Homo-oligomer: A and B are copies of this chain.
Amino acid sequence: MLNDLFWIVPVGAIIALLFARIFFKGMMKESEGTDTMKRIAGHVRKGAMAYLRQQYRVVALVFLVLCVLFAWMAYGPGLQNPWVWFAFLTGGFFSGLAGYIGMKTATYASARTANAARRSLNDGLKVAFRSGAVMGLVVVGLALLDISLWWLLLDYFVEEATETEKAIVITTTMLTFGMGASTQALFARVGGGIFTKAADVGADLVGKVEAGIPEDDPRNPATIADNVGDNVGDVAGMGADLYESYCGSILATAALGAAAFRAEPDAQFNAILAPMLIAAFGVILSLLGIFLVKTKEGASQQQLLRALDRGINVSSLLIVGASFLVIHLLGLSYWICGSVIVGLATGIIIGKATEYYTSHAYKPTQDIAKSSETGPATVIIKGIGTGMISTAIPVLTIVAGIILSFLFAAEFSFANMSMGLYGVGIAAVGMLSTLSITLATDAYGPIADNAGGNAEMSQLGEEVRHRTDALDALGNTTAATGKGFAIGSAALTGLALIASYIEEIKIGLLRMGEEVLKIGDNVVRTADATLTDFMNYYDVTLMNPKVLSGIFIGSMMAFVFCGLTMNAVGRAAQKMVNEVRRQFREIKGIMTGEGEPDYAKCVEISTKGAQHEMVFPSLLAIIIPIVMGLIFGVSGVIGLLAGGLGTGFVLAIFMANSGGAWDNAKKYIEEGNLGGKGSDNHKATVIGDTVGDPFKDTSGPSLNILIKLMSMVAIVMAGVTCAFSLL
């Protein structure tokens, strides 16, 4: 069941990993600068690696328990595919590896970026951006490699009566390695998010607000922890997150393709291959875009942004062309290219909307800054209000994206549900096909931020500080658009995963020997049943109280999950505040620079807080879909996933945008507007920014993964849900 075109996928993966290595080597050749710079970078690197080791230890334990469970389910009552536990393990391993490499690169790159910025702005941008690209390329490279290897392995071992059934079994089995990636990603995002924001909130509240010293001031004991946090949260966490999105979208689409073309054995394999090939071409074409990113000395914020945009836009256009080529080579309907274009456009529009609502070049964020004139309470009210309103454009865009990508692939018939949902999956793959470059712009952010921190702590000259500030400010915008992009892709991928869940249920029924389904007065062969048949069989309509209960609980899950992570940050931050206050009080000469603060103690507090707090919300995300299935059955689970998707998507945008806008409202004042640094207005916006920290970097981004992890768990546990449910 192989086709020569398949080999483009591992080749794409290897090219990506090769260039990641080249960029990494290139960055390592740069000098790390003065001894102070090296020392500070060393502190951060040591803290970050220590944290990651600690985190992987906890996650390994969770994986061990789940693997044993899956293995028992497979070899015991036969409720599980025997490959699942191993697929789960590799997904988790590669997701963790992507985060690890990305973070290692970032911690090596920050001092080098600061040092390159001593020469010129362009040199600084290049080092930071290419280091970000290492992560982008590693994520897509490992993902495509993993997918290729699994495909070859399963193609060799799986035996089924027909080739079409074999394809379905292979694709749905592969899908389960997504759960491993999701589980790893959730821990990385939640743990990293708590770590970084506990440190950030603690550093800001005591340092900026109480002691009145600037950000990244070496006198602040939490400053190293803050910089470590950027790496473990924004780099390692995001890498694991997007590895998971990327794999999820490709695998779900492959599974949907296998199902949609079940009746056409010739086309089926090509439909499975299409998402992988689009992704592989995307990697190669994004590389071209990465090489286009450069700037000149004294470039304005807008020019820097345009330099990044140019890379992304050129890659996107080339991918549109490549998708026509792929579809042509595979002999599929050209309308499917429409879905690819829709996906790319959706991502870009959501990114632009995010920029509008979170950049202080525009009115919404400026208005939040202005509301500081009446104190912190109105800053919070305005930020929450604006964040809520900002959900409108992304939601309408996603809705248009879903409808159009569905209709294109289904050739304008709502009745052709299998093809339409395959189109939605293709749109998700299209959106993520530029991932290596968009993730590069995203991972660039924390590197630039750390470079600024390093420059400040090493007391480099005014001009260097000015350059790293420009790079850092750019990073804030790309981080916000990157988040919009991550959320948008999560919505489409989440939808494709729900559809895949139903396919998985079908396999579960067949495995249990349910050869026919009684739907109303009709009897349908299970193997031939369409998606619509399944929806009717399980009565997944909106008036079924089990479906409605699922929707309510799904909506609630999004809020409760956010609430738990918010409170986790609050608790860890309170400990950090108390520690920083204690050091300011007890360590003599700390404010004059004569006494050295105990940085390690603050890193330790963040580490402990994160490890302690990340377990419960993450386990909840795994347990709830299982319990839901055991009580409410298939229709309840689908309700849960749809409710979680709808509410989670909107809530995630709200939190990311409110947080981003607060951050930039503060920056707006720091740039000298409305009284500037140190004014009461500034203090009010610092409070806003502090509240926004867990919004945008802990709870909001974790929701993306929650949406997908719940679907993944449902898919993996589908066999159990088929066999038993209470109601």
Listed in ascending order, the chain A residues whose CB lies under 8 Å from chain B are 201, 205, 209, 371, 373-378, 380-382, 384-392, 395-396, 398-399, 402-403, 406, 414, 417, 420-421, 424, 491, 495, 498-499, 502, 520-522, 531-532, 535-536, 539-549, 551-556, 558-560, 562-567, 569-570, 573-574, 577-578, 638-639, 642-643, 645-647, 649-651, 654, 687, 690-691, 694, 727
Contacts and interface: CB of A to CB of B under 8 A. Distances in A.
A690 B377 contact: yes
B382 A570 contact: yes
B563 A385 contact: yes
Given A552-B650, A555-B649, A559-B650, 13 more contacts: A371-B570, A378-B574, A380-B687, A382-B566, A384-B691, A388-B563, A392-B556, A402-B545, A402-B552, A414-B539, A414-B545, A647-B647, A647-B650
Contacts of A553: 395-396, 399
Contacts of A552: 395, 398-399, 402, 491, 646, 649-650
Copy tally for this chain in the complex stands at: 2
Contact of A543 (B403, B498, B578): B498
A536 B541 contact: yes
A555 B646 contact: yes
B540 A388 contact: no
A421 B544 CA distance: 9
Given A535-B542, A649-B552, A562 B690 contact: no
B535 A391 contact: no
B551 A642 contact: yes
A562 B388 contact: yes
A381 B646 contact: no
B499 A543 contact: yes
Nearest to A549: B399
A546 B532 CA distance: 14
By secondary structure, the A interface counts as helix
Contact of A556 (B373, B382, B395): B395
Nearest to A561: B388
Given A406-B545, A542-B639, A378 B209 contact: no
B382 A567 contact: yes
Contacts of A532: 539, 541, 543
A545 B403 contact: yes
A541 B540 contact: yes
Contacts of A691: 377, 380-381, 384
14 contacts: A205-B374, A381-B573, A382-B567, A389-B564, A396-B553, A399-B552, A403-B545, A403-B549, A417-B543, A521-B522, A542-B547, A555-B646, A559-B654, A643-B646
Contacts of A424: 545
B421 A543 contact: yes
A647 B555 CA distance: 6
Given A378-B205, A386-B567, A389-B560, A498 B403 contact: no
Contacts of A521: 522
A582 B45 CA distance: 53
